[in-house]
Amino acid sequence: MPPLTTAFIQDNEAMVAEVTVRERMSDLVVVTDVTIEDVGSDGTALAKAAMLVERELMRRMGLPLQFGSSSKEFHKDKKMATETKMHHLPAPHPKYWGQRYKLFSKFDSGVQMDDEGWYSVTPEAIANHHASRCACALACDLFAGAGGDIIALAKTCGRVLAIDNNHDRVGMAVHNAKVYGVSERIDFICGDSVALLHSIKPDVLYMSPPWGGMEYNKSGKEYSLGDINVAGINGFELLQRCIALTPHVALFLPRNTSVEELAAFAEEAGIPCEIEHNWVPSEKGSIRLKAITVYFGRLAQPALGR
Ligand code: MGP
């Protein structure tokens, strides 16, 4: 296997180590072989070299220093084997790890994620687009997660209310909003969004609800609002309750969602509805459909020719 990266590590201009990252496993354990030059038999110099190696390694991997910890084995022939474990980041599915800069362009500035965040955060370009469409005085994100959408909304809205029912995840969203310098414009609530619907009055309700995990599109069937399950209610019920609060709702859904079902829902509710397909550039230079966004109320643009 070809090395993923090599680094020459210098201390006061003397090269102390050459690091070769040979393998990067999906569980974020990095195994490196290190040859140490000019450090003699002094243990302090070895420890310093090890620290430099770890620092360089974390930089190369695009991760903040505090995320790593290494176990090292020193050998008499000036070779060192290290195993660096990346902490604070759960092992993501490799496809999401590969997309990390598309999820958060400032990923290397210390963005925090949990398992659910990896597969459910809205890619930054789509989140920014949603935010441009949802610009208003007060927007509320009912499922803030790791914070991708609220960070974008904070750039276009006067104020943002961010709700998530997971305490740790709210902490991550606060942290990530600070990374992007927008935390001052966001109020965070840790609680049950459905229960809180009675106590809020936003201009726009934005939601990217749980779709049922990474397997959401594996059945081969069209996705239905009925497949959503939050706090014991399905997507139809959730949407009805939201629309009772404000008709200006944006909903981020799987690309295989039944558009007929959404159109029928809007017709019955008697509100304008627009279904937008979110295409993104793919690695291979073409474009691919990521998801759809449904806009209701004044967020919906009138169809051409209507
Ligand atoms: P995906 O469809 O799982 O991956 O997620 P991708 O990269 O399109 O690859 P493929 O293997 O399906 O071809 C695409 C995007 O959908 C994610 O980046 C999230 O923004 C969003 N997403 C995925 N899931 C499973 C969820 C979810 O459960 N909830 C929400 N809100 N968004 C999700």
pLDDT tens, position by position, 143-187: 999 999 999 999 999 999 999 999 999 999 999 999 999 999 999
Instruction: Determine the average pLDDT of the residues in 247-269.
Output: 96
In the predicted structure, residue 4 carries a pLDDT above the cut 90: no
Please state the atom number of ligand 1 nearest to the C-alpha of residue 143: 31
In which region does residue 98 sit, left (phi positive, over 0), alpha (psi from -120 to 50) or beta (all else)? alpha
Enclosing H/E stretch for 124: helix 124-133
Mean pLDDT of 39-45: 54
Whose alpha carbon is nearest atom 3 of ligand 1?
A: 214
pLDDT score of 98 = 78
Label residues 120-144 b or e (16+ Cβ within 10 Å = b): bbbbbbbbbbbbebbebeebbbbbb
Mutation to probe ligand 1, out of 257, 290, 292, 293 (largest number of atoms < 8 A from CB): 290
| pLDDT tens-digit series, residues 275-298 | 999 999 887 788 999 999 999 999
Atom 28 in ligand 1: which residue has the minimum CA distance? 211
- Calculated CA dihedral for residues 220, 225, 226, 232, nearest 10 degrees: 130
pLDDT (0 to 100) of residue 54: 64
pLDDT bin (cut points 50, 70, 90) of residue 24 is: very low
Q: Does the pLDDT at position 306 exceed 50?
A: no
State the distance from the centre of ligand 1 to the C-alpha of 32, rounded, in angstroms: 32
Query: If you measure from the C-alpha of residue 211 to the centroid of ligand 1, how many angstroms do you get, rounded to a whole number?
Result: 9
Residue nearest atom 26 of ligand 1, based on CA coordinates: 120
- Nearest atom in ligand 1 to the alpha carbon of residue 212 is 28
Nearest CA to ligand 1 atom 32: 120
Are 137 and 163 in contact by the 8 Å Cβ rule? The answer is no
pLDDT value at 100 more than 90 = no
In terms of Cα–Cα distance, which of 140, 92, 94 is closest to 113? 92
Where is 125: in which H helix or E strand?
helix 124-133
* CB-defined site of ligand 1, < 6 Å: 95, 119-123, 208-211, 213-214, 216, 252, 290-291
Choice from 100, 120, 121, 124 to test ligand 1 binding pocket (greatest atom count within 8 A of CB)? 120
Contact present, 295 and 243 (Cβ < 8 Å): no
* Whether the predicted pLDDT of 113 surpasses 70: yes
Average pLDDT over residues 192-216: 95
Per DSSP, 227 falls in state: G
Q: What's the pLDDT score for residue 284?
A: 77
Task: Please check the confidence at residue 87 and state whether its pLDDT lies above 50.
Answer: no
- What is the C-alpha separation between 74 and 121, in angstroms, rounded? 41
Alpha carbon distances (Å) from 223 to 144, 219, 228:
22, 9, 9
Distances (CA, A) of 200 to 118, 139, 194: 28, 10, 11
Average pLDDT over residues 24-47: 50
Please report the pLDDT score of residue 305 as a whole number: 52
What are the respective helix, strand and coil percentages of the chain, to the nearest 5?
A: 35, 30, 35
Q: What is the pTM of this model?
A: 0.76
pLDDT averaged over the chain?
A: 81
User: Probe ligand 1: pick from 119, 124, 163, max atoms within 8 Å of CB?
Assistant: 119
Report the alpha-carbon distance of residue 257 to residue 254 in Å, rounded. 6
